[in-house]
Amino acid sequence: PSFAIGRTQEVVWQLDRLIERGEIPLLPLYLDSPMATKATDIYRRHPDYYDEETARFLREGDTPLDYPDAHVTRDANASRAIADAPRPYMIIASNGMLTGGRVVGHLRNLIDDPSATLLFVGYQGQGTLGSHLQAGAKEVKIDGKLRRVRCQVRSISGFSAHADESELLDWLGNFGKGKQSGERGFPRRIFLVHGDPDAQIALEPKVRGLGFETHIPRWHERVTLD
């Protein structure tokens, strides 16, 4: 499972590099996400927006988004046909937390196969099917039916695109440089709205330590901005 925009393209690139270095064998790769396919096409059309590292690869003749044995599924029938393809192969499908999308169909087919590996490359929100599997659940519900987990479940954490605590504090600290609370350009209040509750609670006093007023909204809470 992978997020369609950004994460999928990065995973494809890393797989391509691993193959070029001879670290993994070349396996068929099924890219089964309409949104990811469209996003990849946009990436290809706008190389002028790439960072310097990616631009250098392109100048050297590398094509990081063109996996040598990629199969792009264009419709639901092609997606279902993957189950009958010769193994081994790899599938990248969305959504990344297994809360819907074509990836659920692949999980349904592979969850009881000990030779299959479910590899998480992104954050799994609390309460999602992905989070239960990542936590080691032995049984999960798929389409309302309880299924035994026999496949291998693994995670890679190095793909996160989110800033960590120190980066967030550095970024916020720039707003306060040379300013006092109440001055123009100094944030009146910082809302912590993203991340798990425990992480928000841990971050809040550190944000306050920068001189900012903070607030962690409750679910469905309304806040009036004046």
pLDDT digits (tens, 9 = 90+) for 56-72: 877 777 776 788 899 99
For residue 106, the model assigns a pLDDT of: 96
pLDDT over threshold 90, residue 141:
yes
Range among 121-130, 141-150, 159-168 rated most confident: 141-150
18 and 123, same domain (yes or no) = yes
Position 75 in a domain: yes
Position 226 in a domain: no
Question: What phi-psi label fits residue 200: left (phi over 0), alpha (psi between -120 and 50 degrees) or beta?
Answer: alpha
pTM of the model: 0.73
209 and 134, same domain (yes or no) = no
Question: Given 108, 125, 155, which residue is the final one in a domain?
Answer: 155
Q: φ and ψ at 31, to 5 degrees?
A: -95, 100
What gap in Å lies between CA 169 and CA 210, rounded to an integer?
8
Question: Given 135, 155, 175, which residue is the final one in a domain?
Answer: 155
pLDDT confidence band for 132 (50 / 70 / 90): very high
For residue 161, the model assigns a pLDDT of: 65
Beta bridge partners of 118: 153
Mean pLDDT of 42-49: 86
Mean pLDDT of the chain: 90
Strands (E), 87-169: 90-93, 117-120, 139-142, 145-148, 152-155
User: Which pairing describes strands 214-215 and 190-191: parallel, antiparallel, or unpaired?
Assistant: parallel
Whether 124 contacts 97, CB under 8 Å: yes
Please count the structural domains in the chain: 2
Question: Given 127, 155, 183, which residue is the final one in a domain?
Answer: 155
23 and 62, same domain (yes or no) = yes
Residue 71, classed as helix, strand or coil, is strand
pLDDT confidence band for 44 (50 / 70 / 90): confident
What gap in Å lies between CA 94 and CA 8, rounded to an integer?
9
| Domain residue limits at 46 | 7-155
Q: Which of 4-8, 30-34, 69-73 comes out lowest in average pLDDT? A: 4-8
pLDDT confidence band for 73 (50 / 70 / 90): very high
Position 56 in a domain: yes
pLDDT confidence band for 47 (50 / 70 / 90): confident
151 and 172, same domain (yes or no) = no
What gap in Å lies between CA 134 and CA 153, rounded to an integer?
7
